[in-house]
A and B are shown apart, each in its own frame.
Chain A
């Protein structure tokens, strides 16, 4: 089964680190979609949706419209909700996923 999937336990650990660590759940203030968010800095945002996230009202509206390209950029309402969560201190900013060096380390 080893096609191009990670083959060593260390690589799997890296993958876990980069894809799953430090994610914080944020609910959209408009349509209650729930996503997992990480912010390494003010201008960086990582948003993971999953099957339990619910349906985004903005995307549903865009999909109903004729024409247009089939991929939707980030929903502005959700981004506003994430900004609000940052202001409230729910989503911490900074420090990516790398282990931080400690003074006694």
Chain B
């Protein structure tokens, strides 16, 4: 007799990942006020200096703990609302208006930051290493010019789940059918170094067409890469009866506590030929709504599921254990990264059996719906 399996729910992590984390769009921080961002179990303050350059410090004043995010920007510095201590972007206290001199030790935690593709990214490392500029996500050619729409940006707080739940999606072929109502036909993964990629081709589900999930004429090619532990670029090319759309979707998150995170997503659309500004923006907003619904479908699963360290897999599942081995590199000291966490690994999921069975399921759903519609017609007549 086979034993029943129990879930190893693991233990809550005691640290946050090393790597670049995106805090949002640059344009949302440049209004001359200090902004609060929940991150890494605390609160950060973000503001723009007189030159428009963004700075990120720990949110609490090292004097008496005042909340800098409720302070004001004075010149290039953020001023504490409690006693007006002025903090510079380099993390040093620049002035205390009521004091003869500033204590030498008046230094606070600053995060190295970079603005890339119109987004603010900061480096986080519990070991306190210098920012690794090599690990930044790539510059997106043409984004920020007329070629693309402006970034959309949305944040979904996820209060009761570890951010590894969203990482697991990289390898989860089958959930695209059940949760997102898509029909994955081709599904591959490549992990190498600090990048993890998903290549997927899918179509819409004809039985979900009325709900807005397209049909089999909607062909999607998706390439999605995590650059480090939290920032994914997803290139999405859709073809609907010859109408091509190119979308770049950013799916990123910031852990806010040991078992919570803020999920953020934003996208730009390559403006199609002959389509005016307004229509292009409309397409962008529609895509943002659609992906927003998609993320909420995931979130609803996460908020109700159990954490699992030992998933039981079937042969048609993606490489969950290899993905988690890759993800672990960001949670150990740099010196403790094992070769197999970063060595190249490739995986192709066999979708043939899944597609056979799913096609049958969809056909059944369509037939049932047709019968129901006929009944309804009859009742009306």
Chain A residues within 8 Å of B14, by CB:
2-3
A60 at the interface (CB under 8 A from B): no
- The chain B residue sitting closest to A43, CB to CB, is B350
Does B340 lie at the interface of the complex (its beta carbon under 8 Å from any beta carbon of A)? yes
Specify the chain A residue showing the minimal Cβ separation from B223: A69
Residues B350 and A14 in contact, CB atoms below 8 Å apart: no
Q: Closest Cβ of chain B: how far from A80's Cβ, in Å?
A: 14
Contacting residues, chain B, for A70 (C-beta < 8 A): 138, 195, 225
* Count, chain A residues at interface, CB 8 A: 36
Q: How many residues of B contact A (CB 8 A)?
A: 49
Chain B 319-340, CB-CB to A under 8 Å as 1, else 0, gives 1111011011001100000011
Q: Bound state CA distance, A53 and B348, in angstroms?
A: 20
Report if B10 contacts A (CB, 8 A): yes
| Chain A residue at minimal CB-CB distance from B327 | A4
Query: B310–A10 contact, CB under 8 A?
Result: yes
Residues of A within 8 A of B322 (CB): 18-19
Contacts of A1 in B (CB 8 A): 332
**CA gap between A42 and B268 in the complex, in Å:** 38
Tell me which residues across on chain A come within 8 A of B350, comparing CB atoms.
Answer: 40-44
A49 to B11, CA, bound (A): 30
CA distance A67 to B141 in the complex (A): 10
Residues in B with CB closer than 8 Å to A71 are 190, 192, 195, 197, 223, 225
Bound together, the chains give a CA A48 to CA B319 distance in angstroms of 11
A48 in contact with B345 (CB, 8 Å): yes
Given contacts A6-B309, A44-B315, A49-B343, contact A19 B325 (CB under 8 A): yes
Query: Is B199 positioned at the interface, with any CB of A under 8 Å from its CB?
Result: yes
Residue of A nearest to B164 (CB): A4
Would you give the 0/1 interface string for A1-32, flagging 1 where the beta carbon is closer than 8 Å to chain B?
11111111011001100110000000000000
Q: Is the CB of B13 within 8 A of A11?
A: no
Q: Tell me, yes or no, whether B162 is within 8 Å of chain A by CB.
A: yes
Does the CB pair A15–B321 fall under 8 Å? Answer: yes
Q: How far is the CB of B227 from chain A (nearest CB, A)?
A: 9
- Cβ-based interface call for A84 (8 A): no
Chain A residues near B324: list those with CB within 8 A.
Answer: 4
Q: Closest Cβ of chain B: how far from A104's Cβ, in Å?
A: 13
User: Does A47 interact with chain B (Cβ within 8 Å)?
Assistant: yes
| CB atoms of A7 and B319 under 8 A apart | no
**Which residues of the other chain, B, contact A40 by a CB distance below 8 angstroms?**
315, 350
Q: Which of A4, A11, A73 contacts B199 (CB 8 A)?
A: A73
B8 on interface, CB distance cutoff 8 Å: yes
Known: A41-B315, A47-B347, A48-B343. A3 touches B13 (CB 8 A): yes
Are the CB atoms of A19 and B321 closer together than 8 Å? yes
Is A72 on the interface with B (CB-CB < 8 A)? Answer: yes
**Closest partner residue, chain A, to B353 (CB atom):** A41
Output the nearest chain B residue to A47 by Cβ-Cβ distance: B346
- Residues of A near B310 (CB, < 8 A) are 6, 8, 10-11, 14-15
Q: Does A50 contact B (CB under 8 A)?
A: yes
Binding site for A on B (CB under 8 A): 2, 8, 10-11, 13-15, 138, 141, 162, 164, 188, 190, 192, 195, 197, 199, 223, 225, 235, 309-310, 312-316, 319-322, 324-325, 327-328, 331-332, 339-340, 343-352
Q: A2-B11, A6-B8, A49-B346 are in contact. List 11 more A-B contacts (CB 8 A).
A: A3-B13, A3-B332, A4-B162, A6-B10, A15-B321, A43-B350, A43-B351, A44-B316, A46-B348, A71-B223, A74-B346
